[in-house]
Chains A and B, each alone.
Chain A
Amino acid sequence: MSAPVAVLAAGVATPLGLDLESFWSALVTGVDGTSGIERFAVADLRVGRGGEIKKITPLRGGSAPRCRASALLLKAADDLLGRAALTADPARIAVVVGTALGGVGELERALADAPGPRAAAAALYDSPAHALARRLGARGPVLTVSTACASGATALGIGADLLDEGAADLVVAGGYDILCRFVMRGFDALRSLTRERVRPFDRRRSGLLLGEAAGLVLLARERDARGRLGRLLGHATSSDGSHIAAPDPDGRGLEHALRAAMAAADVAPDDVDLVSAHGTGTILNDRIETGVLKRVLGPRAYRVPVNSIKGALGHTMGAAATLEAIMCLLAARDGVVPSTLGYEEPDPACDLDYVPREARHVRPRVAVSTSLGFGGCNAALVLEGGG
Chain B
Amino acid sequence: MTRLRAVGLVSGWGAGVAALPADAPAAADGRRVIPVPRPALDGERFRRATRECLLGVAAVEAMLAEGGLTRDAIRGADTALLYVTAAAYGASNRLFVGAGGASTARTAGGLAEARRGSASATPAGGRGETRRGDASATPGGAPGEESREGRAGTLHFPYTAPSAVPAEVAIEYGLTGGYVILVGGARATIDAIWQAARLLAARRCRRALVLAVETFAECEDLWARGRWAARGPLVEAAACALLEGDGHVGYGPADGPAPLETLAVRRAGEILACAPLVAAALAREAGQPEARLTGEWRGRRAAVTLALPAAGTPALV
User: Which residues does A use to contact B, with CB under 8 Å?
Assistant: 1-2, 38-44, 91, 100, 102, 104-105, 107-113, 115-117, 119-121, 123-126, 130, 141-148, 154, 158, 161, 165, 167, 181-182, 185-187, 189-191, 236-245, 252-253, 256, 260, 264, 373-378
Residues of A within 8 A of B252 (CB): 167
Interface string of B147-182 (1 = CB under 8 A from A): 000000110111111111011101101111111111
The residue in chain A whose Cβ has the minimal distance to the Cβ of B48 is A244
- Inter-subunit contact B111/A165 (CB<8 Å): no
A41 near B225 with CB under 8 A, answer no
Contact B199 A241 (CB under 8 A): no
Give the residue of B100, B103, B164, B222 whose beta carbon is less than 8 angstroms from that of A182.
B100
Please state if B163 and A107 are interface contacts (CB–CB under 8 Å): no
Q: Find B170's partner among A2, A113, A115, A241 (CB 8 Å cutoff).
A: A241
Q: Does B216 contact A (CB under 8 A)?
A: no
Give which listed residue, B202, B223, B302, contacts A1 with CB less than 8 A.
B202
**Chain A hits for B87, CB < 8 A:** 124
B107 near A158 with CB under 8 A, answer: no
Query: Contacts A117-B225, A125-B162, A158-B180 known; A41 to B154 CB distance under 8 Å?
Result: no
Binds A, one of B90-98, B233-241, B305-313: B90-98
Known: A125-B89, A126-B184, A141-B191. A112 touches B104 (CB 8 A): yes
Number of B residues, CB within 8 Å of A: 76
The answer to whether B191 touches A237, judged by C-beta atoms less than 8 angstroms apart, is: no
B121 CB within 8 Å of chain A: yes
* With A144-B183, A244-B167, A260-B204 already in contact, 14 other A-B pairs whose C-beta atoms are closer than 8 Å: A41-B113, A111-B94, A111-B97, A111-B133, A130-B298, A146-B161, A146-B183, A182-B104, A186-B96, A187-B157, A189-B153, A240-B170, A373-B161, A378-B179
CA distance A126 to B186 in the complex (A): 13
User: In the complex, which of the residues A112, A141, A148, A240 contacts B302, with contact meaning CB atoms closer than 8 Å?
Assistant: A141
Q: Are B222 and A239 in contact, CB atoms less than 8 angstroms apart?
A: no
Complex Cα distance, B183 from A377, in Å, reads 15
Q: How far is the CB of A360 from chain B (nearest CB, A)?
A: 33
Residues of chain B contacted by A182 (CB below 8 angstroms): 93, 96-97, 100, 104, 160
B272, chain A: closest CB distance, angstroms: 11
Q: Which chain A residues border B96 with CB–CB below 8 Å?
A: 182, 185-186
- Asked if B121 and A245 sit within 8 Å, CB to CB, the answer is no
Residue of chain B at shortest CB distance from A102: B183
- Sample (14) of A-B pairs whose CB atoms are under 8 Å apart: A39-B107, A41-B110, A112-B105, A141-B302, A142-B300, A146-B183, A154-B180, A165-B251, A185-B100, A185-B153, A190-B154, A241-B173, A243-B171, A377-B181
